[in-house]
Amino acid sequence: MLPATLVLLVGFVYPVFLILLKSVTTPDLGFQNYVALWSVPGNILIIRKTFSVAFWTTLICLIVAYPFAFYISTLPVRTARIFLFLSMAPLFTAILARLYAWTVILGRRGVINEALMSLGFIDHPLSLLFTPLAVTIGMVHVLLPYMILVLYSVMIKIDPAMLEASRTLGAGSAQTFRRVFLPLSMRGVYAGCLLVFIVALGFFITPAVLAGGEHLTVSVYIEQQIMVLRWGTASAMAAILLAVTVVMFLMFDRLFGAQTLMTGGLRK
């Protein structure tokens, strides 16, 4: 494991250490960068927007992915693998290609506006692009496969005999789902939501392309601060985002175990 450990130390631990160090030493020693961040209302708004977009992205991914994962978990293994492969298909396309496709779809002369205008529903093009809605749509498109994968990995391990026992004891399909299947699948819901939410918090390319610089997220704000060489401010904001992510992960690990993120492990 030594080579992998060295790569991890050099490629991850050391850069993170430098970021944390710069946040309290640049331009001067102290916590003035953190104080400045929280004293500017605009920075608070950026953090709120970032968490809002991440929340809605996670919620939409869950609403779309849960019934899909539930359906394919009831199919024969070979058929389920086909559906699972199709759900992973967006990952085989370059992310920039997908995002620029959304700019064509959501633009003022895009597919959606042209269709609505041709049907007579609107007189003027809607401003869909460069909005939080556009960012959320793009992030859902990217992160939905991850939610499906985590949910499916948990649902496929639910013992069918437990569902059959519920029906044998007189429960209908709806009651069996509500009182047996849903509780057993909740650890997959928690794991999928955590994974998607954490990844969404740090998204950079999607907000940069679909928000057009008009609706800043934390990652875009960090990039802008680096461009003007304000390393202290950028490092402080990155440290805050890192701290939030670590706290959320530790809380989840405490409750369910980190292995649940990919394997659907049992609650501790």
What pLDDT does 93 receive? 84
Which pLDDT band holds residue 265 (cuts at 50, 70, 90)?
Answer: very low
Is residue 267 pLDDT above 70, yes or no?
no
Is residue 17 pLDDT above 90, yes or no?
yes
| Over residues 107-113, mean pLDDT | 88
Distances in Å between the alpha carbon of 159 and those of 16, 68, 84, 148, 171? 42, 19, 20, 19, 17
Dump pLDDT digits (tens) for 191-239. Answer: 899 999 999 998 888 988 888 766 678 999 999 899 999 999 999 999 9
Q: At what angle do helices 218-227 and 41-73 cross, to 10 degrees?
A: 130
What pLDDT does 214 receive? 64
Look up the pTM and report it.
0.87
Average model confidence (pLDDT) for the chain?
88
CB 130 within 8 A of CB 110: no
| Over residues 39-56, mean pLDDT | 91
Which pLDDT band holds residue 109 (cuts at 50, 70, 90)?
Answer: confident
Dump pLDDT digits (tens) for 133-161. Answer: 999 999 999 999 999 999 999 999 998 88
Is residue 259 pLDDT above 70, yes or no?
no
Q: Which two tokens stand for residue 234?
A: 């950028």
What pLDDT does 52 receive? 93
What pLDDT does 90 receive? 82
Which pLDDT band holds residue 248 (cuts at 50, 70, 90)?
Answer: confident
What pLDDT does 262 receive? 53
The CATH code of the domain at 30-263 is 1.10.3720.10
> What percent of the chain has pLDDT above 90?
52
Is residue 79 pLDDT above 70, yes or no?
yes
Is residue 89 pLDDT above 90, yes or no?
no
Which pLDDT band holds residue 12 (cuts at 50, 70, 90)?
Answer: very high
